[in-house]
Amino acid sequence: MQQEIHRRLRALPAVHEVVSRLEEQTEFSPFMTNERWLLRLTQCVRQVLQGARETIYHNHSGSFEEFEATLWPWIVNEVLKTLSRTESSLRRVINATGVVLHTNCGRALLAPDVARFVAEQAERYSNLELTIETGERGSRYTHVEELLCRLTGAEAAMVVNNNAAAVLLMMNTFALGKEVIVSRGELVEVGGSFRIPEVLKAGGAKLVEVGSTNKTWLKDYEAVIGPDTALLLKVHTSNYRVEGFTHAVSGAELVELGERLGVPVMEDLGSGSFFDGTSLGFPPEPTIKQTVKAGLSLVSFSGDKLLGGPQAGILVGKKSFVQRLRTNQLTRALRVDKLTLAALEATLRLYDNGGIEDIPVWRMLSAPLDTLHTAALELVTALQANPNIAVELQEDVSQVGGGAWPTVKLPTWVCAIRPKQGDIMDLEKFLRLGPIAILSRIHKDRVLIDVRTLLSGDFEEIIQRLGEWGEEVS
């Protein structure tokens, strides 16, 4: 028995042997995030081999041949598991898809100054709920309310966790057990998890649908308004377009009807924007200010879509309505944390100071075509030195994403890559499974790298990773 134990212990490979073999295996490349990775790998291997030794002492049944045959796959598997446990789950990725508000990649990016402000606020105590002048308790919402009012023209403002929460809160505060009238053309689903009918129901409201998918008239609303009507809700159809024979009722028309019959009108604006994109060639979309001006009681929108800030649901409107939102117990459950507030305040200040150039989302959306051309050409030129891939400069289109401007195709320049050996799907996967995941797009047998959504340092990572592709296939 002792003999068998010794035989098995002797069969275990040395730490450095395992490390150098594992280093070569593709399954391990996602862990090669920095210079310290070898050290971590070595630690994990040591830990796994120690575990193997203990196992051998306690259990050495079965044949030696079987033990030997399963040893290596077992080690690989255990090291992978151990490494995964030490790796943080949230990781940087390179978004080369050209989708600016990429839902899977965290939607809007914060401006560097905004991110610095957030980091500062995270590390220090703050006056989150303190009025410094009096030393008394204050409200966390005051930090952004004035700015929001100035930027939107509203009387009052308030912020919750996200826009879905904002809609839920509107329903729960003003329509609990009562009816909410929505046009059939506006029963939106966003990203599969947010559907207007379901959110209304969750908020305790009863949905009353009016009109048809393509046409709804003011008289349709008027016909169903009754004693149980709590409010009229307009939903911005941000992620689809009904084209052709259509009619929708404007917010201003609804407000007029609502005032006549004593029913408040609210709007879920979805990806509300402070900035009028028509000057950049985007189709006309009401800005938040224009929507507020129509006189709605409340308007809600997301913080991390076209606004380009943190995830948040922003509610602006009439003072008495915002006041009632504040006193709802649900508000406490949906409240924003200090880091979100810090990011939102800093982002709003960028707008307040006049420019959209500092907002990454708008910088990407408004990138001039010749700048994109220059950048893509630079990448193509750098990659042409790589003998294992064929690279071309191509015109293509990027998307806004995040359910905003769904029909807009932004002209862009991409670097189109074809592997000289191997499969296109394998190349896409190879890029995705690198030390920093590179997300690309496959189109017509090419892997496309859209420069629109690339950030500083991304070029180098892409060039480096593609340089390893040859080693991979040979």
Contact footprint for ligand PLP (CB under 6 A): 162-164, 188, 190, 194, 235-236, 238, 268, 270-271, 302, 313, 403
364 touches 356 (CB < 8 A) = no
Q: How far is the CB of 236 from ligand PLP (least distance, A)?
A: 5
Q: How far is the CB of 237 from ligand PLP (least distance, A)?
A: 7
CA–chain centroid gap for 21, Å, is 37
Biggest CA–CA distance in the chain, Å, is 95
Residue burial 309-327, b: 16+ Cβ < 10 Å; e: rest: bbbbbbbbbbeebbeebee
Q: How far is the CB of 50 from ligand PLP (least distance, A)?
A: 47
263 touches 229 (CB < 8 A) = yes
Residue number, nearest CB to ligand PLP: 270
Closest to ligand PLP by CB, 164 vs 372, is: 164
Q: How far is the CB of 271 from ligand PLP (least distance, A)?
A: 5
Which conformational region is residue 470 in: left (phi greater than 0), alpha (psi within -120 to 50 degrees), or beta? Answer: alpha
Q: How far is the CB of 93 from ligand PLP (least distance, A)?
A: 20
Q: How far is the CB of 331 from ligand PLP (least distance, A)?
A: 16
Q: How far is the CB of 361 from ligand PLP (least distance, A)?
A: 14
Instruction: Give the side-chain half-sphere CA count within 13 A for 103.
Output: 11
98 touches 442 (CB < 8 A) = no
Closest to ligand PLP by CB, 236 vs 446, is: 236
Instruction: Give the side-chain half-sphere CA count within 13 A for 134.
Output: 6
Counts of helices then strands in the chain (DSSP H, E): 19, 18
Q: How far is the CB of 82 from ligand PLP (least distance, A)?
A: 36
Closest to ligand PLP by CB, 258 vs 270, is: 270
419 touches 465 (CB < 8 A) = no
Closest to ligand PLP by CB, 190 vs 364, is: 190
Closest to ligand PLP by CB, 196 vs 375, is: 196
CA-angle at 50, arms to 49 and 51, nearest 5°: 90
Closest to ligand PLP by CB, 179 vs 285, is: 285
Closest to ligand PLP by CB, 194 vs 430, is: 194
The tokens describing 443, both together, are 């189109």
Closest to ligand PLP by CB, 13 vs 406, is: 406
User: Is residue 328 exposed (0-12), middle (13-18) or buried (19+ Cβ within 10 Å)?
Assistant: middle
Instruction: Give every CB contact of residue 95 below 8 A, 6+ residues apart in sequence.
Output: 102, 105, 439, 453, 454
Q: How far is the CB of 214 from ligand PLP (least distance, A)?
A: 18
Closest to ligand PLP by CB, 56 vs 334, is: 334
The strand ranges marked E within 63-169 are: 93-95, 99-101, 130-131, 136-137, 156-160
Amino acid in the structure at residue 119: A
Closest to ligand PLP by CB, 97 vs 161, is: 161
Q: How far is the CB of 359 from ligand PLP (least distance, A)?
A: 17
